């Protein structure tokens, strides 16, 4: 049976975070996330209600955030890329929490068509994807949902992108790196909500630890 994915949004933009900052990208936002981050800026993707299912054209034409989603196959998604005239060859699969489902079939189809794939995940679900897919783990520690960070996710990550606002967040990250034996991976600190105090803390900590800064460029320049 062909897998259908619950898609909340599908759009072309510039990646504003992490290693691919500045890369033209197609964002594929999946519906559903039980992690419960208090600062989440996509809370409309948390719940999966069958009453919120819409057809693909309604989903594509959304002009505001909503919890409406469309069930699409990988072939449906590729057809939308072509109809929309998307030029980007990098696909960012995000959410919600995309790793609630097996993304291997989806990424396999995309890669066969010449796309590169990137997954952005909280690290609280097993990551099922292709070998070549770039995995960004943004570990969410002690969130309302009660999910634990998985060693398998931290080990699979190509980059760690950690949201920070306080010293406790820095301590949490350092403990994660030790507990899950993470070495030789790019570490990005991302200030929560672009607040000045968080940004200064991230800059200071990056310099002290030879880590990298991710400042959500898309929010500063006003694009999606």
Residues tagged in the binding site annotation: 14-16, 29, 33, 37, 39-42, 94, 96, 138-140
CA distances from 160 to 205, 214, 224 (A): 15, 11, 22
Give the position of tokens 């960070």: 149
**Tokens for 85?**
């005239």
Of 134, 149, 189, nearest to 166 by C-alpha is 189
CA–CA distances in Å: residue 182 to residues 12, 97, 109, 167, 175? 32, 22, 30, 20, 10
Binding site for S-adenosyl-L-methionine, by residue number, is 39-41, 96, 138-140
Give 3: exposed, middle or buried? Use CB within 10 Å, 0-12, 13-18, 19+.
middle
Binding site, annotated residues for [4Fe-4S] cluster: 33, 37, 40
Strand partners, 164: 191
- As annotated, the binding site for substrate includes 14-16, 29, 94
CB 5 within 8 A of CB 25: no
């Amino acid at each position: 049976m062909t897998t259908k994915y619950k898609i909340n949004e599908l759009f072309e933009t510039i990646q504003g975070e992490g290693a691919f900052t500045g890369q033209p990208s197609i964002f594929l936002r999946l519906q559903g996330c039980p992690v419960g981050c208090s600062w989440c800026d996509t809370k409309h993707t948390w719940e999966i209600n069958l009453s919120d299912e819409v057809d693909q054209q309604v989903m594509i034409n959304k002009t505001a955030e909503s919890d409406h989603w469309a069930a699409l196959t990988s072939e449906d998604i590729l057809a939308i890329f072509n109809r929309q005239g998307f030029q980007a060859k990098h696909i960012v699969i995000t959410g919600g929490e995309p790793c609630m489902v097996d993304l291997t079939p989806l990424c396999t189809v995309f890669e066969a068509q010449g796309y590169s794939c990137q997954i952005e995940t909280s690290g609280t679900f097993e990551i099922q994807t292709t070998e070549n897919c770039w995995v960004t783990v943004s570990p969410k520690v002690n969130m309302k949902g009660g999910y634990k960070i998985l060693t398998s996710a931290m080990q699979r990550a190509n980059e760690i992108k950690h949201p920070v606002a306080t010293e406790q967040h820095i301590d949490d990250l350092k403990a994660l790196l030790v507990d899950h034996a993470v070495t030789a991976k790019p570490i990005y600190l991302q200030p929560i909500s672009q607040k000045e105090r968080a940004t200064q803390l991230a800059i200071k900590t990056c310099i002290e630890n030879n880590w990298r800064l991710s400042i959500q460029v898309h929010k500063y320049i006003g694009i999606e």
